[in-house]
Amino acid sequence: MAETTPGSAASPASPGSAITPGSAASPAARSARMFNPGEKRSEVPEGLWTRCANCDAMLYTKALREAMFVCPQCDHHHRIGADERVRQLVDPGSFEPMWTDLQPIDSLKFVDRLPYGQRIEREQKKTGHKDALVAGKAFVKGRGVVLAVMNNEFMMASMGSVVGEKITRAIELATDENRALILVCAGGGARMQESTLAVSQMIKTSAALARHDEAGGLYLAVLTDPTTGGTAASFAMLGDLTLAEPKALIGFTGARVIANTVRQELPQGFQRAEFLVEKGFVDRVVHRHQLRNEIARLIDYAGK
């Protein structure tokens, strides 16, 4: 099971995704170095500028951060990690992270370019997280929620046993405490290094969501760029209401694979959020600046 995200090769290192707030060794810092080669480098503090992945504008990173990593020139929604997403959505200081010690086991002794065990260690060091999902209780404009965010800074938010387990626990907590569940989805799908252990998370999370639904619980799915593979084929598509960020890539399989299989030219905007609203897969495209408001409004609308 080797699901790959279309365009994933460009993701971890692309300038658009390269804006991890935080350490000097962040991808943002690395991209800044890339764009300021040579002797002038020492004059420009690392990470001061970020190039927009869409319009190429050089943006003052601090201003971009204040704009929630939405390009002020072209409105491109840059990819952001889980910590930044939590910061943007919850009431300040209200997030209580949970199950932070869960970490993956290399049961298959999987080796690709790097043994899986080493890959996990490297990602843990880079992000300060044990795996690719951040979850916990929080308040959004005073409404109590359980928030789970897939972290595309950790192995491209691929879904392994830890991601599935934490999502399941988050769902069950939301059911038990009658809180709204907000799940911010991302990534290329099942983590190939965990094979069927990863794929079985689709079943586990879907079953927990069915119980949440039977108990009258509310689930808001927020799909971000990209949400594909097994993630798209399970919990990401099971929301009571499905929101998506503008132009987010959402789909199961890459467009090129589909085009080659059906031998047809695909329509313009295929697999983008706006196209999926037209086709009924997504309820609403929400600008990042409005996302927090919209979540609070929908919780009220659902009477939760």
Residue placing its CB nearer to Zn ion in the complex, 56 or 177: 56
Interaction of residue 73 with Zn ion, rule CB under 5 A: yes
Minimum gap (Å) between residue 77 Cβ and Zn ion: 10
The DSSP-derived string for 223-265 is EEEEEEHHHHTTGGG--SEEEE-TT-BEESS-HHHHHHHHTSP
Binding to Zn ion (CB under 5 A) within 259-278 occurs at none
Q: How far apart are CA 188 and CA 288, in angstroms?
A: 21
The token pair that represents 10 in the structure block: 């460009």
Closest separation in Å from C-beta 147 to Zn ion: 28
How far out from the chain centre does Cα 14 lie? 15
Total of residues contacting Zn ion (CB under 5 A)? 8
Q: Considering only 71-79, 84-92, 147-155, 217-225, which stretch makes contact with Zn ion by CB under 5 A?
A: 71-79
Q: Cβ 74 to Zn ion, closest distance in Å?
A: 3
By C-beta, is 163 or 249 nearer to Zn ion? 249
- For Zn ion, give the closer residue by CB, 13 or 55: 55
Q: Which part of the chain contacts Zn ion (CB under 5 A), choosing from 70-78, 116-124, 168-176, 177-185? A: 70-78
Note whether 68 binds Zn ion by CB under 5 A: no
d(CA 169, CA 175): 10
53 binds Zn ion (CB under 5 A): no
The number of residues making up the chain comes to 304
CB atoms under 10 Å from CB of 290, counted, come to 11
In the block, tokens 């929630």 appear at 68
The beta strand positions in the chain, using DSSP E, are 49-51, 58-60, 96-97, 133-140, 143-150, 180-187, 219-228, 241-244, 250-251, 284-285
- Interface pick for Zn ion out of 20, 27, 51, 76 (rule CB under 5 A): 76
Q: How many CB atoms lie within 10 A of CB 206?
A: 16
- Regarding 55 and contact with Zn ion (CB under 5 A), the answer is yes
Under rule CB under 5 A, residue 54 binds Zn ion: yes
Which residues lie near Zn ion (CB under 5 A)?
Answer: 52, 54-55, 57, 71, 73-74, 76
